[in-house]
């Protein structure tokens, strides 16, 4: 219960800080930099080094790959039916194809499944970033007509602290290297900063603007896919085709149901793929996702 209270308190604090102008306008960028480079790196190393490696870990790892491929197919077909501009199709693929598996996913899963659930979150989150900076960049380049090299962006992944920590944790796990207790405790304490700081950042970025009818239509299809269709696809594949069950599978489905990823929306907007639509997908998607996530959690408990 305390984790759920923390979730809403931190989001409210983020909104309050922005409304009261108690912090600089773009203070969330500094907060995000700390969370991504320090908190998430520690979190990745601490939990992945302790994951029990088995064939079942392939299910959370596959979630972001299935999601982006499904989004490409879904919005290409929808775009053809409704004669959408390339920029709209690209924006929706980017914003609905990638979930907020860290800034929203970590605190939500921690609240529902405790510390143990974060191990599965990291198995979804790190591949999510790989997919974003490979297929995501290809999508952005194609629909914007940009010629940015995917090699440059792939090199960025290799230099990202959370990804380096992820690879280091895999080595530690595979070779059963013993981490000294005091060092392990330091990683845990740094990892513990992820949830409150990420949620405050999310709260500080929540802004709503009046929508035009056409934007409402795009937004409807984008959020319908991200919050309902995408997790439904994962549910059908994992539960009914592969007959998988257990906490790891439930968390994989919930991770698919997370709100649109902020970083993916930023990349899409930077490629001039309907920046306003991208911002709305995040600003409206995050609060709405708390309702749909609750529904998905209830469904998973019943199945």
- Tens of pLDDT, residue by residue over 49-69, are 887 777 889 999 999 999 999
The answer to the question of residue 25 being in a domain is no
Long-range contacts (CB closer than 8 Å, 24 or more residues apart) made by 116-119: 116/247, 117/247, 117/251, 118/43, 118/47, 119/47, 119/48, 119/50, 119/51
CATH number at residue 262: 1.20.1530
Number of domains in the chain: 1
pLDDT in tens, 197-224: 877 887 787 766 666 778 889 999 999 9
pTM, two decimals, is 0.82
Share above pLDDT 90 across residues of the chain, in percent, rounded to a whole number: 43
| pLDDT band for position 71 (cuts 50, 70, 90) | very high
| pLDDT band for position 25 (cuts 50, 70, 90) | confident
Burial class of residue 214 in the structure, from the number of CB atoms within 10 Å of its CB (0-12 exposed, 13-18 middle, 19+ buried): exposed
Is the pLDDT at 300 greater than 60? The verdict is: yes
Please provide the DSSP assignment of 236-274 as one string: IIIIIIS---SHHHHHHHHHHTSPBPHHHHHHHHHTTS-
Structure tokens at 187: 């990683």
The answer to the question of residue 210 being in a domain is no
Average pLDDT, the chain: 87
d(CA 239, CA 296): 14
Share above pLDDT 70 across residues of the chain, in percent, rounded to a whole number: 94
CA-angle at 240, arms to 236 and 244, nearest 5° = 105
Q: What is the domain extent for residue 69?
A: 2-20+32-205+215-302
In this structure, what DSSP letter does residue 211 have? P
The answer to the question of residue 80 being in a domain is yes
Closest among 200, 187, 5, 182 to 110, alpha carbons compared: 5
Question: Is residue 124 a contact partner of residue 105, using CB atoms and an 8 Å limit?
Answer: yes
Q: How high is the pLDDT of residue 87?
A: 94
Residue that the structure tokens 């604090």 belong to: 13
pLDDT in tens, 121-173: 989 988 888 888 778 888 988 898 765 566 776 677 678 788 888 889 889 98
pLDDT in tens, 76-111: 999 999 999 999 999 999 999 999 888 788 889 988
pLDDT in tens, 26-50: 888 888 889 878 988 898 888 888 8
The answer to the question of residue 168 being in a domain is yes
**270 vs 10, which has greater pLDDT?**
10
The answer to the question of residue 292 being in a domain is yes
The answer to the question of residue 172 being in a domain is yes
d(CA 230, CA 234): 7
The answer to the question of residue 42 being in a domain is yes
The answer to the question of residue 27 being in a domain is no
């Amino acid at each position: 219960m305390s984790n759920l209270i923390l979730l809403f308190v931190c989001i409210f604090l983020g909104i309050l800080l922005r409304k009261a102008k108690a912090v600089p306008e773009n203070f969330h960028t500094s907060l995000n930099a700390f969370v991504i480079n320090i908190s998430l790196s520690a979190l990745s190393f601490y939990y992945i080094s302790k994951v029990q490696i088995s064939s079942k870990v392939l299910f959370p790892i596959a979630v972001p790959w299935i999601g982006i491929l499904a989004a490409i197919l879904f919005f290409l077909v929808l775009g053809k039916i409704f004669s959408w501009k390339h920029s709209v199709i690209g924006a929706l693929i980017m914003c609905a194809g990638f979930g907020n598996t860290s800034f929203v996913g970590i605190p939500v899963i921690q609240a529902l499944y405790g510390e143990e659930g974060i191990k599965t979150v990291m198995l979804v989150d790190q591949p999510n970033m790989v997919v974003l900076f490979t297929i995501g960049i290809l999508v952005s380049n194609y629909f914007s007509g940009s010629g940015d090299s995917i090699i440059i962006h792939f090199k960025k992944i290799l230099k990202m602290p959370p990804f380096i920590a992820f690879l280091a944790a895999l080595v530690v796990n595979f070779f059963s290297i013993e981490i000294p207790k005091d060092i392990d405790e330091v990683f845990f304490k740094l990892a513990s900063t992820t949830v409150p700081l990420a949620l405050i950042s999310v709260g500080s970025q929540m802004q709503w603007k009046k929508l035009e009818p056409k934007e409402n239509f795009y937004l409807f299809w984008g959020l319908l896919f991200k919050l309902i269709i995408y997790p439904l696809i994962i549910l059908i594949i994992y539960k009914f085709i592969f007959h998988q069950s257990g906490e790891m599978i439930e968390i994989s489905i919930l991770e698919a149901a997370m709100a649109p990823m902020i970083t993916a929306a930023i990349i899409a907007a930077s490629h001039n793929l309907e920046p306003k639509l991208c911002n709305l997908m995040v600003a409206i998607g995050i609060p709405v996702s708390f309702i749909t996530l609750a529904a998905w959690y209830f469904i998973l408990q019943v199945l």
